[in-house]
Structure 1
Amino acid sequence: MGLQKTDLERWIEIDKSYLQKYQIKKSLIHTHRDEVTCASPECKGPAHEALLLLVDVLTQRYPSMFVKPNGHSIKNLVTGDMWDLKPSSTNWEKYHPLEVMGLLATDDFFILENDPTTGVTALKGGCVCFPGKRICEPHLYLSDSADNQLTAGWKIEERVGLSLWQIHAGKVPHYEQALSKSMDRFFLRMKSGNLTSRFNYAIDDSDDLFRRHSHHNLSNEHDAPLLKLEDLHLRVERQVLQRLPESGALLFSIRTYVTPITEVTKDRAVAEALRTSTRSYDEKLSAYKNQPLWNDALQKHLSEVLGDDDLRQDSAVAEAAE
């Protein structure tokens, strides 16, 4: 699952879960705002630029859902919300532009900025209503071998102001050795108009989109029970990165899908891909993603779905050992 070129027309996706996710986001912003939104003062300008870009995309691609009654506002025909977009609007006394973006679309949004002299990219703000993930985290934007700390069961306020290195080093397997330099270069060289996207996945233990805590490296002997097949869900994220043309800041968005494992493995290709990927984890990544908690249930299910000899071979080995 590598990087792919995309464009503004394919940036935002809206499906039948739109209203449900809107209601979750609205509630979270009102009741847990300090846990889902945090932004530095310098983030507000780029965030407003990003909001105007989103408004243009939504009104052009989904005209039956979003309209511009005038040149400085947007109306959501599904929810009835009307947003005055002028910089002088009183909206900004109650909402950050990133929050308005989150209420217009189902994605989570982040603003990052580069320091061209040092090459360091830092997180400046985000509205993250679906950090989800308790037993494992999604991958880094540039790699399938480590996990993305931008979306994994933590408070956004703990990360705003930190560089990519500070967010990932010492926490994510293989980051220092394999990823840090290439990741910094990629973010620094990103050009306006060149959108990139990628999909990643993780195994989760529920369909909850919002989780307050992330639990890693759990000992299945002392800290958590082994998971059953009915607990397992596939969390897929569509990530899009782009550079804003006026401010030069980076806009990172994540669209989240969570589906029961038993549903996604009805597609044989998905089942095969899951088995190949989860069997490739090294010791550090396996521990970090708490694979021991879910691996037995998943692998048994995949063997049954794929109709191969793995399950029978495991049973024969167990019988021979007795």
Structure 2
Amino acid sequence: MKAEQAPWQKLGFKLKLGLRARDEADWLPHDDLFDDHSARDSQLAYKAQLLGDRHDEVFAALPGSEPAGREVLAMVRTHLQQFHDASLPDLPADADLHPLDAAARLVPEDLLLLEPRRRANGGTGGDFDWYLVAASLCFPAHWVLAEKMNKPLAAIHAPVPDYRERLETPMDRFFTNMKIGPISSRMNWSLQLGDELFSPHRSTRKAAMGDLANEDMCLRMENQTLRKLPETGLVLFTIRTHMVPMIRWQSTPGAIAALVDMLDQMSEAARNYKGAHLYRDALQQFLINS
């Protein structure tokens, strides 16, 4: 029987949309990707803490985003009740709570809303730019919410190597042409030291071989979905984050070697963006000593 591949072997590292259709029942999965049965409850508790203690860092919304937020809240509640038989937690008794904020407290996913604005001169990606107008982002993977608010997709992804050349036009076109009803999904992966979910800034510490053996080097997976809201026409972007120590794949034939090779194949810009220079030598040393 063929050994199961590690996520980076399945997904690769090249920049692409990589979208797949997803059924409504699987929109917001209940279970953890790596079978950590405590992950959901611990993430919900951590979100509640962050929304209480660091609200301005993890939630932002522009005026006028409330109707779309109400749509999301209704959709999330309906989904949980219909597909997960969920008893919904009590929400803070705060009349001023934005509905997207309320929705985000019900699920581990981060929830982001993007609004279409007509371009003055059109463009290759269509007649609209899509702006981030509201977000509950408790588990950022090395980006700061305040720096991305009220910016279009192109500006949001400006730090991503080759985004402008390879993905800007397809992404804008996909958002504009998205139909109401279908759900699109994709997976994303990155490496980080430690298992901190709230990571707006990447650690600059260079990994040592012991970090891998001691479960301090982690694989961070993002299960992302996109869908267009039927009433307001905004796009809802959801991110479910899963974290697991890299040592999980020490016995998977060729997995760590494939990752080292993958990091070596990246362009210098991609290596810097992914933080590959922080992890590559430790992974190579682990291979030598295994």
Give TM-score, length-normalised by structure 1. 0.73
Answer yes or no: is the 8 Å Cα contact 2:221–2:241 preserved in 1.
yes
**5 Å matches for 1:65-76?**
65-66=86-87, 75-76=88-89
Alpha-carbon distance, 1:196 to partner? 0.6
* Corresponding position of 1:33: 55
In the alignment, is residue 57 of structure 1 matched against residue 88 of structure 2? no
* Corresponding position of 2:131: 122
* Corresponding position of 2:148: 159
Q: Residue 240 of structure 2 aligns to which amino acid in structure 1?
A: R
In the alignment, is residue 106 of structure 1 matched against residue 125 of structure 2? no
* Corresponding position of 2:241: 256
Answer yes or no: is the 8 Å Cα contact 2:220–2:243 preserved in 1.
yes
Structure 1: distance between partners of 2:284 and 2:201: 26
CA distance 1:59–1:264, shift in 2 (3 Å): farther
**5 Å matches for 1:1-322?**
1=11, 2-15=18-31, 16=37, 17-63=39-85, 65-66=86-87, 75-76=88-89, 81=90, 91-93=94-96, 95-116=97-118, 118-132=127-141, 152-154=142-144, 156-169=145-158, 171-214=159-202, 224-228=205-209, 229=212, 230=214, 231-268=216-253, 271=256, 274-275=259-260, 277-301=262-286
Alpha-carbon distance, 1:274 to partner? 3.3
Answer yes or no: is the 8 Å Cα contact 1:116–1:188 preserved in 2.
no
Q: Please, which runs of 5 or more residues in structure 1 have no aligned partner?
A: 67-74, 84-89, 133-151, 219-223, 306-322
Answer yes or no: is the 8 Å Cα contact 2:206–2:279 preserved in 1.
no
Structure 1: distance between partners of 2:266 and 2:276: 9
Classify the secondary structure of the residue corresponding to 1:279.
helix
Classify the secondary structure of the residue corresponding to 1:208.
coil
Deviations 1:25-74 (A, max 9, x none): 111111100000001112111011011011111001111x32xxxxxxxx
Q: Residue 27 of structure 2 aligns to which amino acid in structure 1?
A: W
Q: Residue 23 of structure 2 aligns to which amino acid in structure 1?
A: D
Range with bigger deviation, 34-43 or 275-284: 275-284
CA distance 1:302–1:202, shift in 2 (3 Å): farther
Answer yes or no: is the 8 Å Cα contact 1:125–1:160 preserved in 2.
yes
Q: Please, which runs of 5 or more residues in structure 2 have no aligned partner?
A: 1-10, 12-17, 32-36, 120-126
Structure 1: distance between partners of 2:128 and 2:258: 36
Deviations 1:187-226 (A, max 9, x none): 11111111110111101111010124346xx6xxxxx444
CA distance 1:4–1:271, shift in 2 (3 Å): farther
Answer yes or no: is the 8 Å Cα contact 1:107–1:254 preserved in 2.
yes
Structure 1: distance between partners of 2:56 and 2:131: 20
Q: Residue 174 of structure 1 aligns to which amino acid in structure 2?
A: D
Alpha-carbon distance, 1:298 to partner? 1.7
CA distance 1:287–1:55, shift in 2 (3 Å): same
State the Cα RMSD in Å. 2.2
Classify the secondary structure of the residue corresponding to 2:50.
helix
Structure 1: distance between partners of 2:208 and 2:128: 43
Alpha-carbon distance, 1:293 to partner? 1.5
Structure 1: distance between partners of 2:258 and 2:118: 39
Q: State the number of aligned residues.
A: 257
Range with bigger deviation, 186-195 or 268-277: 268-277
CA distance 1:3–1:302, shift in 2 (3 Å): farther
Structure 1: distance between partners of 2:235 and 2:27: 14
CA distance 1:192–1:274, shift in 2 (3 Å): farther
Alpha-carbon distance, 1:168 to partner? 2.2
Deviations 1:104-158 (A, max 9, x none): 11000000012255321111110011114xxxxxxxxxxxxxxxxxxx231x222
Alpha-carbon distance, 1:275 to partner? 4.4
